[in-house]
Structure 1
Amino acid sequence: MRRFLLVAVMCGTASVAQAADMSDLPFLRGSFTEGLSRSNVNWGGGYIGGHASHGAADMDFTNSGQDLLAKLLNNIDLESQFNISKWPLAGKAHMQGSGYGGFVGYNWQWTEAVVAIELNYTHGNFFGANSGSQARSFQYPTDYVSSATVSSSASMKVTDYGSLRVRGGYAIDSFLPYGFAGIAMGQANINRRADYAAYYRYVGSPLTPRPDYAGAASLTDNANSHFITGFAGGVGVDVMLYAGLFLRAEWEYLRFTSTVDTTINTVRAGLGYKF
């Protein structure tokens, strides 16, 4: 029994000593687990790729004809008194569409942090149109009842759009989640028309009769292949597959501040190659 206890004590001492020696191993000090969290994929360098997209666009035509109406109503007293050109006309349009395109960029990598500059392009087709009108009457000028009717109609077709963006990401082995922001650019056909009609009816004393007055005019503006700009933002993830070949999934938001205020939201899937 005494020998058995002696052997057990000796074995226990040896086990403690062995554990103490193993505690000096790198993977027990944390470097092993830290190494697992670090990316072993080199994301640095240039890259190029293509993508397919699907999304939706919202176009606000409410104020699209204000500048045309302002030109039509210039030097007309009803405009100076009642700001007719500022009346809200038309409305919003919503549509969906698909497209395809490509991207090219360059990554700079510091351990897990990745910063990139990228040019992104999509060819698609988003078309929207809307129209509206208003009519009002006024006790103006003296001894007259005046009426004004204005209308506005517009259409917009966005065929090409993209962004020049700055990306910031964090590499996790073969995955590179990222966010981006930049300048949105696009090409659109914008066709607009504005009309007005005014009528002055004399309601004063019949002893001093005065004539009635009427007037009408229209103005159009067709801007084909019109360059539009705005800002862009979104998030995505690149997944390295093999030897520089990677997959991409992304959501992009574009806002164009042209005569027709337009937003485009798209989701896209792509395939790229990093050199």
Structure 2
Amino acid sequence: MRRLLLAAVICGAAHGAYAADMPDDFPFLRGSQPPSLSTVRTVWQGFYIGGQASYGSADMDFKNSGKDLLERLLNHVDVESQFNLSSWPLGGTSSNRNSGFGGFLGYNLQMEDVVFGVEANYTHSKFLGASSGSQGRSFSYPADYRTSAFVQSNASMQIMDFGSLRVRAGYSLGSFLPYAFGGVAMGQANIRRNASYNLHYQYVGTQIPPLPNLAGGGSLSDNANAHFIYGYAAGLGIDMMIVDGLFLRAEWEFLRFTAPVDTIVNTVRAGAGYRF
């Protein structure tokens, strides 16, 4: 009996010594668990590049497109200072739809589920618009004269290339990244403009002999190829990771270009990209 008891004590002591010599970083000694599946992974962080196809519309407002030309033409004409002929609204709006293609390049920084990024986005397309307009008015000016004024403006614009330099903010939902963005819009366009005016001064006084009737006019054109246009950009989109690094994209983008033709471009895009 004593031998059995002694053997049990020796075995227990040996087991305790063996356990004490085991490394501390064995998980089953610490009672730790494997990393949680909820641990955040930076699925979207890094540089990425991709291509896209687009379809959209361009709405161009030509009402003030010839204002600066008329201001130069009427700079020293008396009726301009009195009746502001150059500010008369001329022309209207034009809308055009077309498809395009392009690409994008950017970088994402992911902090837990929130993703911030910067991106350069480019689209090649052809949006063409044109409009013309004229106005004629008569007024009693100067003294003893009845003056008739006629002004006209013609303009066209073709946008060939445009894009945006944007900042993005999104929220990671596993394989999905919905996001919003805003930034600067840039592009180039061929712009053709022409403005003209005609004036006729008819003497209506009573002086004998009467004062002479007078007339005048002029025109000015401005043609700019690959003219730089700029404005602002905003939009929404969603990226969907297919396999590690490869993702698909769906997006809506709003662009507004301000001068010399006020233009709004709305496009929807579908694309694919790769995150490095």
TM-score (normalizing by structure 1): 0.86
Q: 2:130 matched to which residue of 1?
A: 129
Highest Rg: 1 or 2? 2
- In the TM superposition, 1:3-14 aligns within 5 A as none
Q: Which amino acid aligns with 1:216?
A: G
CA positional deviation for 1:208: 3.7
Where does residue 249 of structure 1 map in the other structure?
Answer: 250
* Pairing 1:82-93 to 2, within 5 Å after superposition: 82-93=83-94
Matching residue of 2:156 = 155
CA shift in 2, pair 1:109/1:92, >3 Å: same
The amino acid that maps onto 1:186 is G
For structure 2, list consecutive stretches of 5 or more residues without a partner in the other structure: 1-32
Cα deviation digits, residues 133-185 of structure 1 (max 9, x gap): 00000111111100000000100000000000000000001000000000000
The 3-state SS of whatever aligns with 1:264 is strand
Calculate the aligned-residue CA RMSD, in Å: 1.6
C-alpha separation in 2, matches of 1:76 and 1:181: 44
Q: Following TM superposition, where does structure 1 have runs of at least 4 consecutive aligned residues deviating by more than 6 angstroms?
A: none
Ranges in structure 1 where 5+ consecutive residues have no aligned partner: 1-25
Contact 1:53 1:266 in 2 (8 A): yes
Q: What is the CA–CA distance in structure 2 between the aligned matches of 1:258 and 1:86, rounded to whole Å? A: 16
Percent identity for Structure 1 against Structure 2: 59
1:141 matched residue in structure 2 = 142
CA distance in 1, matches of 2:114, 2:273: 20
* Aligned length, in residue pairs: 244
Q: CA–CA distance in 1 between the matches of 2:271 and 2:41? A: 23
2:110 paired with 1:109: yes
Asked whether the equivalents of residues 39 and 173 of structure 1 are also in contact (C-alpha less than 8 Å), the reply is no
Listed one character per residue, the Cα deviations across residues 107-146 of structure 1 (whole Å, up to 9, x for unaligned) are: 0001100000000000000000000000000111111100
Partner of 1:44: 45
Secondary structure of the 1:74 match is coil
TM-score normalized by the length of structure 2: 0.86
Contact preservation (8 Å) 1:143, 1:204: yes
Secondary structure of the residue that 1:88 maps to in structure 2?
A: coil
Residues 1:177 and 2:178 are matched in the alignment: yes
- Give the aligned residue type for 1:166: V
Q: Deviations over 1:211-246 (max 9, x none)?
A: 110011100000110001100000000000012000
CA distance in 2 between partners of 1:39 and 1:86 (Å): 59
Match in the other structure for 1:6: none
